[in-house]
Structure 1
Amino acid sequence: MNDMEIIDSSFSAVINAPIDRIDIPEWCFSLPEKDYQACSPAHIAAGFTTAPDGRRMSINVEVIGGSLMVQHYVETLAKKDHLILESASDIFTPTGRTTLHIKWELSVRAIDGQRCEFTNHVVSTATDEFRSFLDRQGIPFDVFRAQRAPMSIAHNKGETPLFAASIERAALRK
């Protein structure tokens, strides 16, 4: 863990579909809002657009640990079996607005001809703006990290099997 890292969380779940039927970027950038909401009680809204450089962007809105987050996930790697998205996410707290950097990595690997293992990996790191935000309030970063990490990890653990089920449904519709 580096001195700016808040969490590094990874969970896996089985997808009962062959790997050649799975296309994670297609799933991610066409996921209906109701399906996104069904993957966690913390999920509020999802939409899609493009970044200024033309790369696809997924906009996700959720509440974790009482803070509203608006994530602007831009694809940095897009393969059928592996998607990496990075976001300068806006965080709205009772004491103001700030940002975090989040790297969201989704991948699948074949278990056998009919099943895959899906992995949902999230790494969040503090921006300089966020560190200043905590400093202005007199909150030590380690104290914030200790309080935030369990909530973020629980969120990832809860959404992973539901994302896997959604990807499975999309794969089996093909």
Structure 2
Amino acid sequence: MSATVRSDLVLSHAVITADVTANFDDIDIEAWLKNLPTHEYQRCAPGDHKAAGYTVDDDGTPMSINIEMIGSGLVIQQYRYEVASPHYCKMVSISDVLSPAGWTTTQVIWELGIEQLEGDQLRYVNTVTSHPTEDFLKFIADKGQTYEEAAAARQKASGQHCEIETPHYAASIVAYANAHPRSAAS
């Protein structure tokens, strides 16, 4: 999908962490994302997360497809993997958003990382940044909403959503690591 992204404007930005205990070498966020079943995705944000899947884009780039509610908007994310590794993934999506006022688009950047604090004490870092597209700016202007109003609403909704999903993502990543230990394959 082609869209003009306004990377100079930030609709929302959230960085939420959750501490977990696991063998750092067993963590594989890339494999977790590519094998995340819909029902596990739903458990990570009950009521908000609707479906998840894995595919590739026309050029072969791996993609994670996520459908979720953020505030009053149904968001269909087609995340392309920009960086994919066991301890860090950066995903970028031009996301379709169905709001009560109709359809628009935004860019969403989702970064998932794990840091080793000490021994098996780890910190999962969930970072979500959203930028408007030109389509989004026209959409809100046509509806009589200012950018500041739209950004404040998106920041609140996205921040609350990330607070719910982050500890669940962290626990799910650890459960996946325990069920599929990378150290056993070495």
Taking structure 2 as the reference length, the TM-score comes to: 0.90
Q: Secondary structure at the match of 1:72?
A: strand
Moved over 6 A (4+): none
Paired AA for residue 5 in structure 1: V
Once residues 8 and 53 of structure 2 are traced to their aligned partners in structure 1, the CA distance between those partners, rounded to angstroms, is: 32
* 1:35-114 correspondence runs (5 A): 35-41=40-46, 42-114=48-120
Deviation of 1:3 after TM superposition, in Å, equals 5.2
1:117 equivalent among 115, 123, 136: 123
1:115 deviates by: 2.1
Deviation of the 1:68 alpha carbon: 0.6
| Superposed counterparts of 1:2-17, under 5 Å | 4-17=9-22
Consecutive unaligned residues in structure 2, runs of 5 or more:
1-6, 182-186
Q: Deviations over 1:18-49 (max 9, x none)?
A: 11000101001101111000000200011111
Decide which moves more: 122-131 or 140-149.
Answer: 140-149
Kindly state the Cα deviation for residue 113 of structure 1 after the two structures are TM-superposed.
2.0
SS, match of residue 5 in structure 1: coil
Is 1:134 aligned to 2:140, yes or no? Answer: yes
| Identity level (%) | 36
> 1:123-148 CA deviation, whole Å, 9 max, x = no partner?
00100110010111111010111122
Partner of 1:29: 34
Letter in 2 for 1:157: E
d(CA) in 2 for partners of 1:171 and 1:161?
15
Give the letter for the 1:140 counterpart.
T
CA distance in 2, matches of 1:45, 1:130: 24
- 1:6-25 Cα deviation digits (max 9, x unpaired): 11100111121111000101
Count residues with an aligned counterpart: 173
Q: Deviations over 1:101-156 (max 9, x none)?
A: 00000001111221211000000010011001011111101011112211110100
Range moving further from structure 2, 66-75 or 3-12 = 3-12
Shift of 1:53: 1.5
Counterpart secondary structure, 2:171: helix
Q: Determine helix, strand or coil for the equivalent of 1:111.
A: strand
